[in-house]
Amino acid sequence: MYSSAVCPYCINAERLLVSKGVTDIHKIRIDLQPEKREEMMQKTGRRTVPQIYIDARHIGGFDDLRALDLAGGLDALLA
């Protein structure tokens, strides 16, 4: 997950994933490694954090993650 320390959406995404039993979240902090922001933008086509991946699948931001959960698709991806 591409994230930054001061991003409330990043915090909410992490909370949602933890509530689903995810114990290992690999965070790439673009606030600490500015070069990673360019990498993120090239990979995702987006400028905002979080940008969430489950395995190699790009989920999107927090709103995308939440929508996936509400639609019932998140649990299947995490299984």
Amino acid (1-letter code) at residue 3: S
Long-range (24+ apart) CB contacts under 8 A made by 39-47 are: 40/2, 44/2
- Nearest to 4, CA basis, from 27, 29, 26: 29
Kindly report, residue by residue over 37-79, the tens digit of the pLDDT.
999 999 999 999 999 999 999 999 999 999 999 999 999 999 9
Q: How far is CA 43 from the centre of its chain?
A: 13
**Angstrom distance (rounded) from CA 34 to CA 13:** 21
Residue 2: band (very low, low, confident or very high) from pLDDT cuts 50, 70, 90? very high
Q: Tell me the whole-structure pTM to 2 decimals.
A: 0.93
Q: What structural domains does the chain harbor?
A: 2-78 (3.40.30.10)
